[in-house]
Structure 1
Amino acid sequence: MRNIKISLACLLLIISICFIFTGCGNQNEQTAQNTDSYLTITDAADRVVTLNKKPERILPLSASFLEPLHAVDGKIIARVSAKTGIPDEDKDLPEVGNVYNINLEKVIEQQPDLVIAYKGMNDKFVSTFEDNNIPVIVLDMRTYEQVQHTVDILGQITGNTDKAQKLINDMDSKIAAIKAKIPQENKRIAILHSTSQNVTVQLENSIAGSVAKILGFTNIADGITPLESNPTAAPYSLETLVEKNPEIIFVTSMGKMETIKEAMLKNVENNPAWQTLPAVQTNKVYFLPQEMFLLSPGIHYPEAVETMAKLAYPDKFN
């Protein structure tokens, strides 16, 4: 009898131990599932962002993100207001303000599971989205390298990396074809940015500066210390312009073209030194289209490259 009781006690102990280990196993398995994530990336603001699931309600805060998102089958639920750059399929989407003046309440009302912010324009809103448990990724699309990187990231987000790589390859091929048409020479160029208030020079990390770099042009502003308020621009100096002696001057602008040209006349053209510049004497001062060089051309970067190439070498393009 005593042996039977001992056997039953041992059996109960073994069963109890099994339940304990089984329970621990289930708990550990559940913890692993809860910590699984869909994607972890480092964005353009050096933030490590983890997405727990594939985003199905994406809200981009710049029109520049719309076309690349469509190219990788991103599901867009709302957009910013813009005069240009809105695909037909997005024109009826709810609007959440313009890129410089986002309406946070409207963004939150849309209940996005991912907000894509434009670096340098939407950074101040990031903490608000995070406080409302809305994942946000900051991306940049000024230079061509940044556009390539953004397309790659969007492909990872939507799970369509093959489509992203195809888009990047297509852009690379178009740009290579454009470069093949022009001479491989170090043409000296200057890029001025004119507003109704002042004139600055554009650096390599600006949109126009990136295009000029792709074409192999020598930007006379290379090495100049950028403005504290704008890392893509530097102070304008007519003396430096005369010293560097550019063969071509490109002008980017913000505002009405008539006002911009009037400001240019007041700030630079009335100065006798301006008339000594070879670019001025040979009528090689070109205003670049705002739709390509004010805001990012995005996946239309090859068109921006072709635009600048045609201005510099009109005889090479039919």
Structure 2
Amino acid sequence: MHAYKRQNLLRQWSGGLLAGVMFVSGCAAPSNPASDNNRDALELSPSAESRPVSVHDAEERESFLTFEDDTGREIRLPEQPQRIIVLSPQLLDLLYSVDGHAIAHATSPGGTVPDEAERIEEVGGMTTVNTEKLLALKPDLVIGSVVFHRELTAILDASNVPFALFNLSTYADLQQKAVLFGQLSGTENKAREALADLDQEIREWTARVPASDAPTFIMLNVTPNSLSVQRQDTVGIEVATMLHMNNLAETWEAASDSPSTAPFSLEKIVELNPDYVFILIHGAREDGEKKIQSDLASQPAWTSLRAVKENRMVILPSDRFLSNPGFRLSESVEYLAKLVYPDTYENGH
């Protein structure tokens, strides 16, 4: 990534909350005046005061909260939700991180559940949601993932259940959803304060990166059945960029079914010969390691890579670099900083 692009991204993650979630609220908690960098995340439409008052305006003003999800759908909540169901482990963890609560959740193999949520109801698996059980619980808000839960929209709309779909991949995603979940839970100030603390922790780690260094890397996705190259839109790439690393695959042509990835090409990787090869295993680590051995380690071209010869081919922890770790993002930055710049960080923080 060119320095200009990297600076833009650094301004994006360190500049506080983005204005990606618009809301109209009659009783949302006021923003925290101590968090000046993060105050502008959620704002009323600048033209709201100048428009003639309509029935729709009056309904919004009487509502608890109106916001737009990541599919562009407007979600209007007449009252603060008390019966939330969350279908994504990452989103459930974030809700509880801002002292929110749910009455039920969907399960995921290998996924963790916040201690406070261990005894709440289950509504099937993340990709096999039991909609009959979900509706029987009479939720007043269901929160799901854009990737996995779009197909539930028609069912929930027909039952008049508010249904919000979100992405949680980047730091900007984390910032936006943390504030929104704080509003849903009546803990917006706590969410903003936690984000300000996280931003400060990340700044402290990244401030020590040697200005003259810009190590190159390729990040691979490994599943039991496939290999691909990650171009963008993962927390792993974002953390590496925060640490002044250069993603060599950023400009590769995207895969036809996934704009954030590119088809795997060992020939291209050998030609670029990156300083580091980072691997993200999707699913069980054991299955991913078998795929690496069968499809990569046995190839002479793979073993010729500088990163492989110098032991800079690293399988990154999925819970820190594949799934968004939420308020533990600074731990991901710390992990990679110590890995890539051991001389700088050898004495700890």
- TM-score scaled by length of structure 1: 0.84
Structure 1: how far apart are the matches of 2:265 and 2:60?
Answer: 58
Partner in structure 2 of residue 104 of structure 1: 131
Partner in structure 2 of residue 16 of structure 1: none
Q: Closer, same or farther in 2 for the Cα pair 1:180/1:32, shift >3 Å?
A: closer
Q: SS at the partner of 2:100?
A: coil
Task: Give the conservation status (yes or no) of the 8 Å contact 1:60–1:115.
Answer: yes
Tell me by how many angstroms 1:252 deviates: 0.4
1:125 aligns with 2:152: yes
Tell me by how many angstroms 1:190 deviates: 0.8
Map 1:223-262 to 2 at 5 A: 223-262=251-290
Runs of 4+ in 1 over 4 A off after TM superposition: 31-35
1:313 aligns with 2:311: no
Identity of aligned residues (%): 32
Letter in 1 for 2:214: N
Aligned residues: 290
Partner in structure 2 of residue 20 of structure 1: none
Task: Give the conservation status (yes or no) of the 8 Å contact 1:68–1:151.
Answer: yes
Q: Closer, same or farther in 2 for the Cα pair 1:266/1:75, shift >3 Å?
A: closer
Tell me by how many angstroms 1:299 deviates: 2.3
Higher relative contact order (Cα pairs below 8 Å, separated by 6+ residues): 2
Structure 1: how far apart are the matches of 2:148 and 2:271?
Answer: 34
Picking from 165, 170, 174, the partner of 2:201 is 174
1:154-198 deviation digits (Å, cap 9, x = unpaired): 123233321121121121112112213432322101101111212
Q: Closer, same or farther in 2 for the Cα pair 1:65/1:177, shift >3 Å?
A: same
Q: Which structure shows the higher helix fraction?
A: 1
Partner in structure 1 of residue 100 of structure 2: 74
Picking from 40, 59, 62, the partner of 2:88 is 62
Picking from 304, 312, 318, the partner of 1:284 is 312
Structure 2: how far apart are the matches of 1:122 and 1:298?
Answer: 20
Structure 1: how far apart are the matches of 2:294 and 2:63?
Answer: 57
Structure 2: how far apart are the matches of 1:312 and 1:41?
Answer: 40
Partner in structure 1 of residue 66 of structure 2: 40
Partner in structure 1 of residue 167 of structure 2: 140
Letter in 1 for 2:176: H
Picking from 164, 178, 192, the partner of 1:151 is 178
Partner in structure 1 of residue 11 of structure 2: none
Larger Rg belongs to: 1
- TM-score scaled by length of structure 2: 0.77
| TM-align CA RMSD | 2.2
1:49 aligns with 2:78: no
Q: Closer, same or farther in 2 for the Cα pair 1:254/1:67, shift >3 Å?
A: closer
Letter in 1 for 2:107: S
Q: SS at the partner of 1:120?
A: helix
1:113-159 deviation digits (Å, cap 9, x = unpaired): 01111121112112211111110111111111111111122123233
Unaligned runs of 5+ in 2: 1-53
Q: Closer, same or farther in 2 for the Cα pair 1:302/1:99, shift >3 Å?
A: farther
Structure 2: how far apart are the matches of 1:262 and 1:70?
Answer: 35
